[in-house]
Structure 1
Amino acid sequence: MHLLSSEESGAAEARRLDETDPLPTLRAEFRVPAGPDGGEAAYFAGNSLGLQPRAAAELVGEELADWARLAVEGHHRARRPWIAYHELLREPAARLVGALPHEVVAMNSLTVNLHLMMATFYRPAGDRTRILIEDSAFPSDSYAVASQAAHHGLDPAEAVVRLRPRPGEEHLRTEDVVGLLEREGDRVALVLLGGVNYLTGQLMDIPAITKAGRAAGAVVGWDLAHAAGNVPLRLHDWDVDFAAWCSYKYLNGGPGAVAGCFVHERHARNAALPRLSGWWGNDPATRFAMRPDFVPVASADAWQLSNPPILAMAPVLASLRIFDRVGMDALRAKSRRLTGYLAGRLAGIGGLEVITPSDPALRGCQLSVRVADAAGLVRRLADEAGVVADAREPDVVRLAPAPLYNTFADCHRAAEALAALLR
């Protein structure tokens, strides 16, 4: 009688979980890169760049064909007229982040959108000058807030307050953030935190922190680069002032994809707000009258600067259609199952430390592990085992089992490869 090895039994269990999961994988709708053996890689870098939806090439091809066939007339006569192309993304994006359609717009890139939001909502005055961010914020956010403070003639070292975990801990505690806002909120002009921290994978308590920030008189915005398409969001109901996200990570919109922006309707319909303006933010009724006076649209569209980049928006549209069909609640449930399985497998491996919260309610689908020589380990995972992850210097490897295309078999494969390489 052949006795199954632990690796064989683990693989069989992973196959069983894949075959019986309530949400079958949609992996066939994506293009998965090949591993060193010529088969599909186990791709865990969707928190850095999502896989290409197979439908993306078709949609881009249709836009190229319409451009060739119609040229300038494509603005009005393409199968999806270009002049209002961004409107095709509005409702699925709004459903994705829990917003009203007029609160959402697809435009620009993430950091550009953060700057546009801060041009409106960061208005330091008197003692209320501070910007609150997490110490482990993504570097681009740090650069953006520091430059905004300097733009207003402030010293970034004083104006930007960087929130740090308690000594010996990896994560910010909600009660510490709320407590700071209760004590010193009268000096805070803007709270700008990452919804899911890019390094640790911690999911912040967005509604609780938003409530505390607004109660303190501050504007509260969120960078949702690692949250959009990863966890369910209710931006309108949570009373968030603004938010911005990229579309190339969990949203699979392609490298440098067009980003998204949320502006709560109490601001979106306020024509008196100061803003940096461009012609696509002007009311469509007068946009082509070519007048010098700016008349903002009564929606998040008012922050648009330029006409939509069609070839960059088509892949985002392809991906949003998948999210719309499946729904974030179903994806979140599968994400918990996949991530919980992978976390359990990683727990038994020596030589690594999982720094992502163990509580499923406090994380998305990313698991960050601290190891020696993270960059070297990531290279070996890809070259020797066909497991694609990413490294963040000096010692963190990030693995994100994205529920649209990752499987339990992928998670088993990743755990076995990590155990073998760290043994």
Structure 2
Amino acid sequence: MSSMQEFQPGLEWARAQDAADELAGFRSEFCIPPHGTDEQVYLCGNSLGLLPRATRQAVLDELDDWSTHAVEAHFRGRHPWMPYHSFVREHLAALVGAEPAEVVAMNSLTANLHLMLVSFYRPTPERHAILLEKRAFPSDQYALQSQVRLHGYDPATALIELEGDEAEGTISLDAVARVLEQHGERIAVVVLPGVQYLTGQVFDLKTITALAHAKGCIVGFDLAHAVGNVPVNLHDSGCDFAVWCHYKYCNSGPGAVAGCFVHARHAHSERPRLAGWWGHDQSTRFQMGPDFVPTPGADGWQLSNPPILALAPLRVSLQIFARAGIDRLRAKSLRLTGYLAQLIAHEVPQVLDVLTPTEPQRRGCQLSLRVKGPRDSGRALYEYLGSRGVVGDWREPDVIRVAPTALYNRFEDAWRFVDTVKHWHAGRN
């Protein structure tokens, strides 16, 4: 679907797109939750991705190795535990556009954000502010507030919130440039999202990094809603660090082990850090010496040995992404989410406003929707959708998020979402 002229609103057209989809086979590799005798229309990969069918056996294999080999599984397992985190490194680096030494899978997103800020937020009286977007994800807000307080500063003055200057609260590059021009000399760190969780807006990492570096700021990104959704090309972006989770688009399970990127120019950084034994130089780690010598690259920020049962699902998921290719997934996503946006505009413009930018390159899979009408309309529609097996998610105060995900969603899923909205609206009028 390359143009509006090709768009057709009927179910037959949607099914024809699915029949021609070169990635359609990946859907069968995931467990689609049931709804009665049918499958759910699952549009919530932006919150929790579906279970890959191969994950169950991968976890069972690790349990079997534990049962059979116990401690020796560190060396004798099918995937030996000692180097296990290296088994995800190449595919993870490819997914986020990084050099292998720049990425590591560890901890949770917010824990990794704190670890990065310990090293990269080094405030001075003259330069101690942090730039974030207004209505950032709460965990980021809490983390940044606490880091500011730990250094003896007041979040009320040290946190600069980037206001939306576009319709529906999205943020232009001009707004980023203006705030950096105005406050850049006192901003120590810029922490912005790759994709904003509430609006679904994609941010231009490379341009933002260049603007901020020109003002002497460190730049980090929260990529929770970006990794596995859009190409992020972290190395070429030039950003200093990034953190993300793997339980959304990367389908690695609830509370999945997270990811972290540290640019190669910081590979031998002497910045202060919170150290742990698994971040120690691998060649001397087991000499158990008292002095910490960091492993070069992102590995040097590790604290403890990797959680094998949490890494197994990530290993499976990254293998799927390696076969699908993030560029092919992005191409499908542009068509699929574009189709959903066109279908909403064509079929239910009197019901839904789309908050996400209309420009395809400024959005990923997700569309954020606001229901027109009385105040309770949004929640009412959300609950109606769920009762019909159409699963999105709700974000206060009034946003329904739906994300047709390229690995396992179909054009037919987008059509069924809009058709269900039509039935809800007809029943209220």
How would you bin the TM-score normalised by the shorter chain? over 0.9
SS at 1:221 equivalent: strand
Residues in 1 aligned to 2:244 and 2:69: alpha-carbon distance in whole angstroms: 33
> Is the CA contact (8 Å cut-off) linking 1:335 and 1:403 kept in structure 2?
yes
| Equivalent in 337, 340, 343 of residue 341 of structure 2 | 343
Deviation at 1:11, TM superposition (A): 1.4
Residues in 2 aligned to 1:73 and 1:24: alpha-carbon distance in whole angstroms: 41
The answer as to 2:274 corresponding to 1:276 is yes
Superposition pairs of residues 303-322 of structure 1, within 5 angstroms? 303-322=301-320
**In structure 1, what residue type is equivalent to 2:320?**
I
> Is the CA contact (8 Å cut-off) linking 1:136 and 1:197 kept in structure 2?
no
SS at 1:368 equivalent: strand
Pair 344,168 (structure 1): closer, same or farther in 2 beyond 3 Å: closer
Tell me which residue corresponds to 2:323: 325
The answer as to 2:308 corresponding to 1:302 is no
Superposition pairs of residues 185-264 of structure 1, within 5 angstroms? 185-264=184-263
> Is the CA contact (8 Å cut-off) linking 1:25 and 1:403 kept in structure 2?
no
SS at 2:342 equivalent: helix
> Is the CA contact (8 Å cut-off) linking 1:225 and 1:249 kept in structure 2?
yes
**In structure 2, what residue type is equivalent to 1:380?**
Y
Tell me which residue corresponds to 1:178: 177
Tell me which residue corresponds to 2:85: 86
SS at 1:220 equivalent: strand
SS at 2:104 equivalent: strand
> Is the CA contact (8 Å cut-off) linking 1:59 and 1:318 kept in structure 2?
yes
- In the TM superposition, what whole-angstrom CA distance separates every residue of 1:135-165 from its partner, at most 9, and x where no partner exists? 0210000000000000000001110111111
Residues in 2 aligned to 1:314 and 1:201: alpha-carbon distance in whole angstroms: 29
Pair 174,25 (structure 1): closer, same or farther in 2 beyond 3 Å: farther
Deviation at 1:376, TM superposition (A): 3.5
Residues in 2 aligned to 1:259 and 1:68: alpha-carbon distance in whole angstroms: 26
Q: Where does the alignment leave 5 or more consecutive residues of structure 2 unmatched? A: 1-7
> Is the CA contact (8 Å cut-off) linking 1:25 and 1:406 kept in structure 2?
no
Q: How many residues align?
A: 413
Tell me which residue corresponds to 1:382: 386
**In structure 1, what residue type is equivalent to 2:414?**
C
Tell me which residue corresponds to 1:15: 15
> Is the CA contact (8 Å cut-off) linking 2:190 and 2:220 kept in structure 1?
yes
Superposition pairs of residues 146-161 of structure 1, within 5 angstroms? 146-161=145-160
Pair 116,9 (structure 1): closer, same or farther in 2 beyond 3 Å: closer
Moved more, 18-27 or 186-195: 18-27
Tell me which residue corresponds to 2:404: 401
Q: Where does the alignment leave 5 or more consecutive residues of structure 1 unmatched? A: 1-7
Tell me which residue corresponds to 1:392: 395
Tell me which residue corresponds to 1:411: 414
SS at 1:179 equivalent: helix
Deviation at 1:168, TM superposition (A): 5.3
Deviation at 1:230, TM superposition (A): 0.3
Residues in 2 aligned to 1:111 and 1:70: alpha-carbon distance in whole angstroms: 34
Deviation at 1:346, TM superposition (A): 1.1
Deviation at 1:182, TM superposition (A): 2.4
Residues in 1 aligned to 2:140 and 2:291: alpha-carbon distance in whole angstroms: 32
Residues in 2 aligned to 1:323 and 1:33: alpha-carbon distance in whole angstroms: 21
- Kindly report structure 1 stretches of 4+ aligned residues shifted beyond 3 Å: 372-376
- In the TM superposition, what whole-angstrom CA distance separates every residue of 1:174-229 from its partner, at most 9, and x where no partner exists? 11101221232111000000110000000011111110111110000000000000
Deviation at 1:125, TM superposition (A): 0.8
The answer as to 2:114 corresponding to 1:131 is no
Tell me which residue corresponds to 2:4: none
Deviation at 1:397, TM superposition (A): 0.2
> Is the CA contact (8 Å cut-off) linking 2:168 and 2:355 kept in structure 1?
no
Pair 167,26 (structure 1): closer, same or farther in 2 beyond 3 Å: closer
Residues in 2 aligned to 1:300 and 1:210: alpha-carbon distance in whole angstroms: 19
Pair 414,90 (structure 1): closer, same or farther in 2 beyond 3 Å: same
Tell me which residue corresponds to 2:48: 49
Residues in 1 aligned to 2:26 and 2:168: alpha-carbon distance in whole angstroms: 37
Across the aligned residues of Structure 1 and Structure 2, the Cα RMSD in angstroms comes to 1.3
Deviation at 1:25, TM superposition (A): 4.3
> Is the CA contact (8 Å cut-off) linking 1:223 and 1:245 kept in structure 2?
yes
**In structure 2, what residue type is equivalent to 1:304?**
Q
The answer as to 2:34 corresponding to 1:34 is yes
Deviation at 1:268, TM superposition (A): 2.1
SS at 1:132 equivalent: strand
Deviation at 1:169, TM superposition (A): 4.3
**In structure 1, what residue type is equivalent to 2:329?**
L
SS at 1:236 equivalent: helix
Residues in 1 aligned to 2:66 and 2:284: alpha-carbon distance in whole angstroms: 26
> Is the CA contact (8 Å cut-off) linking 1:190 and 1:220 kept in structure 2?
yes
**In structure 1, what residue type is equivalent to 2:182?**
R
Moved more, 372-381 or 236-245: 372-381
Residues in 1 aligned to 2:167 and 2:383: alpha-carbon distance in whole angstroms: 30
> Is the CA contact (8 Å cut-off) linking 2:162 and 2:179 kept in structure 1?
no
